[in-house]
A and B are shown apart, each in its own frame.
Chain A
Amino acid sequence: MNDTLERPPAADATEAAQSFVTLTLADQLCGVPVLAVRDILAEQTITRIPLAPPEIAGSLNLRGRIVTAIDLRRRLNLPAAQVGAARMSVVAEQGGELYALLVDQVSEVLRLPVAACEGNPPTLAPDWAAYSAGIYRLQGRLLVVLDVARLLALAPRT
């Protein structure tokens, strides 16, 4: 079941098109392959975890399972969200564990042809390049495909 996460979405050549859950992070449109998404959550109570790495926002209760929440703004070194701003999360699974990716807003699901995916421009900021699996040119906006596996590859700090 983790195959969907470990394989970059663009490499899935057998399908002509792929569906993405679109979301915004500091006004940037991003997409996560829909197969990697387990749940979409509205604002949740998140318990802070002392001494945890900064990008760990805390943990939350998803129907009896404990889910670690990761603040994608901090993961991508973006400015912190405004205090009190409602945030949503996209839940993904990695190695049997659930993670909630905290984003600003989740919007519709888009079906995009695989062939239209372009590689990262070489000038893309390193923070984005590290987690981008490709770029789609949509009408008037660019969509960055986020690589969930890489986003969740959090190494414990020693």
Chain B
Amino acid sequence: MDDLLADFLTETDESLAELDVALVKLERSPGDEATLALIFRMVHTIKGTCGFLGLPRLERVAHAAESVLGRVRDRKLTATPEIVTQVLEGLDRIKAILAGLRANGAEPAGDDAALIATLDGIAERRARRAPPPDAVPQASPGGEPVAGAEPTAGEAAAASQTIRVGVDVLEGLMTLVSELVLTRNQLLQLARTEENPAFTVPLQRLSHITSDLQEGVVKTRMQPIGNAWNKLPRLVRDLARDLGKRIELIMLGAETELDRQVLELIKDPLTHMVRNCADHGLEPTEARRAAGKPESGRITLNAYHEGGHILIEIADDGAGLPTAKIRAKAISLGFATEAELAAMTEAQIQRFILRPGFSTAAAVTAVSGRGVGMDVVKSNIERIGGTIDLKSVAGQGTTVTVKIPLTLAIVSALIVQAGGERFAIPQISVVELVRARAAALDGAAADHAAADPAGETSVIERINDTPVLRLRERLLPLVSLTGLLHLEGAAETRPDDRAYIVVTQVGATTLGIIVDRVFDTEEIVVKPVAPILRHITMFSGNTILGDGSVIMILDPNGIARATGVGVGGGDPRAAGRDPQRAGPSLHGADGPTAMLLFRAGDGAPLAVPLALVARLEDIPRARIESSAGQPVTQYRGQLMPLVPFAGALDAGRERFTVLVFSDDSGGGPARSMGLVVDEIVDVVKDRLRMQLGGARPGLLGTAIINGASTDVIDIAHYLTLAFGDWFKAPRAAVAANVLVVDDSGFFRQMLAPAMTAAGFRVTAVASAAEALARRDAGEMFAAIVSDIQMPEIDGFELVRRIRAEGAWAELPVIALSGSTEPADIARGRAAGFTDYVTKFERDALLASLRQCLGQGAPPLGLAA
């Protein structure tokens, strides 16, 4: 009887899931006879089996539901939403009773009288011509055929070809096959070293059979993703009712198969995301009508295979993510400062919703926004080695794309060595491999790097103790695996040793992991680490290699978090423990600004945005000469003027630390300027809280960095000291008057001096409204430079209004933004911007301005 009951529970669970889907379908097309017949048959079967197994409570509820469905089938009733709701409620009760049955082996006590009365009431409502409900087709419990006794011919055929196998049996098979694969690998390795022709052929056969077997067993674990979706139609229907919205759910690619283990793990995150779409994503009906959209909102799920991964898109055609709200919330939660947000793209700002503790719902509703949000979804997805991406277009909707591995059991991994130990890095997160040479801070190495930036060997540069790599115009934050894992072999790596950098990508974060050697890629069988080691977040598992040795599998997510480079890497323990946290990346997904801290003179520590510094040099006193009363040094075959900061050259030292600012553009001979300082203190990635007031020339102002008040220097000032004409175009015309629109005081302060030095007259305003007021007052400018993200009227809207009417309609308008991705540029051009320039890239801005104003200067690219 126990086995019978267990089978009944499993089968009924499946039927109920199907019933939910079918009923929602019926509600949409009440005349669909096939669906109705299916529903009726399933409820009938459940009822019959209950009687057979002696489950009276279940049977009564099922019977009442069946009576209603019988009326519908006989066309005495129409499947109105109200009726469907009642039947669904009946099914919910059945589920609750089944849960109790599963837990205790007996029906739980309870009173279903009210529910049954309601159902019966519906059944009798228009049943005057019909016989009383008790006479509805219904056999005595004992005589009722058991489950599956009246399936259609097709189903019967299908049923005979499938058997039910316990999951533990499959898991056991999987373990055995994994071990077989490992043994096979060991044999193959042996065969390679000991040439014995007698073994070659059988071994090859064994190898093939093992591979086929592995594939076959993996297939047994595969299930269509539709199994994780079958609760969603019901969920969406109920949500639509509760929220008073009209929602259409479209599911594509439901037959896409993936590992059952993965399937189980993504069920909840998927459900959560669909809730989000329904609750926050889709606008209320009136708002949709007002926006000229179809009243019925649409949620689309789409699953498909792509290169060993499954991609699942969850899209809605709602209002899109409220960027302005997210900005405000990010500031109020202290996740970022105004200055940092100003440098970010919309996509970067939107990613804040993936941060722990971030819920965008202004009001917490019953449906979602209960404190757990997208951050939980993200961490669940990452736990299974997946990634999550957001795309949102205002007014058109939001698409969340989840990328997950097909199976967790077997992955392709890169085997690397660091500190004498081997490790596996899952291939999914490896972007590329770079061979590099560790460089000391001496001129020769830096010269080499500069002379051969695209050469085969890149050079790991160090800013203080933080290693970085220049990779295609970007500074890649690096972390040494040896250092991170506290491996004793660290001393083996001498500065001139070759090293490899495994460039990994986790979400939007790119991080380079320095290793000593790279071996091969291998298909590895992932095994969980022992419970005692689970707290070490650097590892996602361990495995046995072909040669029989055990190695640990690195978790790039964990590494990124431990180094503080990761998006949402808010692990305060990791941050406090690891001084390398200060990633030098200025363009970090949503990270704080990277600043180079140095000392000169007795004053406060000084800082300059790291992106502006081309190189750091250590120059001996002997190499410093004098030319026309100015200290210079020979640098890359040219004389480089040196500007001593706060008398740094007077100090009686033999070597000097020099920050090199360079102009590497192709226009003319490259020019460099060296700022001589006392010492480099650190590279800090901190929120720049600029306390305005650059009282002295050469200072932008004072900021609190690392808790200490720090002077942020104005590089433009020192560049003009070195070259009077640094910012001046060769054919500079009369000073043109430029209007700068930026809500951030920090950027207004930063831009104005640079532009003034370059020969422009600058008028700065803090908002688009202020700018438009000046237009209406009749003021005229030669060009306008505007921020994109501003409260109330943003940059796009501003340029639209400028182009729409008034005296400024023909003016060049340059957008300043955190990113110059092609999509952003396209959007900017569509809105009417003349050009699109990245914030911080002062010289690109100046070049663009000159071009717009017809001064035709060659672009000056201050190397970053």
Contacts and interface: CB of A to CB of B under 8 A. Distances in A.
Given A49-B552, A50-B486, A51-B485, A158 B532 contact: no
A50 B544 contact: no
A157 interface: yes
Contacts of A158: 535
Contacts, number: 67
B173 to A, nearest CB: 14
A142 to B, nearest CB: 30
B332 interface: no
A84 B531 CA distance: 29
Contacts of B622: none
Interface string A52-76: 1100101111011110100000000
Contacts of B530: 59, 66, 68, 97, 99
B486 A68 contact: no
Contacts of B538: 50-51
Main SS class of interface, A: loop
B533 interface: yes
Given A59-B542, A66-B527, A156-B531, A52 B536 contact: yes
A45 interface: yes
B421 A56 contact: no
Interface in A142-158: 154, 156-158
B182 A47 contact: no
B364 interface: no
B479 to A, nearest CB: 14
B550 A60 contact: yes
A66 B544 contact: yes
Contacts of B487: 50
B800 interface: no
B533 A64 contact: no
Interface in B241-284: none
Nearest to A64: B179
Interface string B621-652: 00000000000000000000000000000000
Nearest to A155: B532
Contacts of B178: 64
Contacts of A156: 531-535
Contacts of B419: 50
A4 B853 CA distance: 86
A95 interface: yes
Interface residues of B, number: 27
A49 B183 contact: no
A61 B548 contact: yes
A97 B532 CA distance: 10
Interface string B535-567: 110110011100011111000000000000000
B823 to A, nearest CB: 41
A58 B179 CA distance: 20
Contact of A50 (B485, B532, B549): B485
B182 A64 contact: yes
Contacts of A50: 419, 421, 485-487, 536, 538, 552
A99 B539 CA distance: 19
Interface in A115-158: 154, 156-158
Interface in B599-627: none
Interface residues of A, number: 25
A48 interface: yes
Interface in B221-242: none
Contacts of A47: 421, 549-552
B552 A154 contact: no
Contacts of A56: 532-533
Interface centre among A51, A65, A99, A156 (most CB of B within 10 A): A51
A154 B532 contact: yes
A58 B532 CA distance: 12
Contacts of A61: 544, 548-550
Interface in B185-244: none
A89 to B, nearest CB: 14
B209 to A, nearest CB: 18
Contacts of A99: 530
Which of B182, B531, B542 has the most CB atoms of chain A within a 10 A radius of its CB? B531
Contacts of B536: 49-52
Given A47-B550, A51-B486, A59-B550, A68 B533 contact: yes
A158 B531 CA distance: 13
Most buried by B among A53, A58, A59: A59
A51 B539 CA distance: 10
A60 B677 CA distance: 53
Nearest to A52: B533
Given A51-B486, A66-B550, A157 B527 contact: no
A59 B548 CA distance: 12
Which residue among A50, A52, A60, A158 has the maximum number of chain B CB atoms within 10 Å of its CB? A50
Contact of A64 (B183, B542, B552): B183
Contacts of B551: 47
Contacts of A58: 550
Contacts of B182: 64
A52 B535 CA distance: 9
B864 to A, nearest CB: 35
Contacts of A66: 527, 530, 542-544, 550
Nearest to B419: A50
Nearest to A46: B550
A59 B535 CA distance: 16
B549 A97 contact: no
A154 to B, nearest CB: 4
Contacts of B548: 45, 61
Contacts of B549: 45, 47, 61
A64 B182 CA distance: 7
4 shortest A-B CB distances, which residue pairs? A64-B179, A50-B485, A156-B535, A68-B530
Interface of A: 45, 47-53, 56, 58-61, 63-66, 68, 95, 97, 99, 154, 156-158
8 contacts: A45-B549, A50-B419, A50-B421, A52-B532, A56-B533, A64-B179, A68-B533, A157-B535
Given A99-B530, A156-B531, A157-B535, 5 more contacts: A47-B421, A50-B419, A52-B532, A61-B548, A156-B535
